[in-house]
Structures are given as C-alpha cells and as structure tokens.
Amino acid sequence: MMDMYIHYKALPAGKDLQDVVGELNEVLEDHGAVCGGEAGRIDLSLEDETMNPKYAQMAVKAYLQRAGFAKDTMVEIGGMEIGVYE
C-alpha cells in the first residue's frame, strides 16, 4: 500500500466533500480508495502491487483538473508535493 494526499484550500463550486470522495473512488476503481482526511486534505490509499503509482497520480490529477480544483491544489505522494496543473 502507498499513501497519497490531496491538499486543497477549497472544494470546487457545486461539490461537497461527499461528491469528491465518491468521484475519486470511481477514478481509482480497484486500484485504491479514499481512506480518510482532515480539513484541507483528502487521504488516498493506493494498491501499489497492482499498478504503478504514477498512473494513479495521473488519474487523480486529471480528475482534480476536470472537477475544477484551484491551481494551488497539491498532490503529495512519497513525501513529494506536485501541483495539480504541473
């Protein structure tokens, strides 16, 4: 298992946390799931045995862009933070 974190300041207009969690779980399918979080952070657990975590990272970033997260949203994996639009 590998952890991935989404750091955000605000959710996209028209979405609540429950919407985002459900949509992220759909994006990750059998390769991971939302496993918790706190204010401003969503925690994901990835099944790194079945897929390269880069693919999950790209899928999550693509979802965050489509959903309209702000440009200051960051994805953290393996201790490195990457901007959603980088």
Res. 74 pLDDT band, cuts 50 70 90: very high
Q: Is the domain 2-83 a CATH 3.30.1490.270 member?
A: no
| Domain range list for the chain | 2-83
Question: In this structure, are residues 7 and 16 in contact, taking their beta carbons and an 8 Å threshold?
Answer: no
Give residue-wise pLDDT tens across range 25-68: 999 988 889 999 999 999 999 886 656 777 888 999 999 999 99
Question: In this structure, are residues 32 and 44 in contact, taking their beta carbons and an 8 Å threshold?
Answer: yes
> What are the strands of the beta sheet with 74-77, ordered from one edge?
32-38, 41-46, 2-7, 74-77, 80-83
Tell me, what's the pLDDT at 78?
86
Tell me, what's the pLDDT at 10?
96
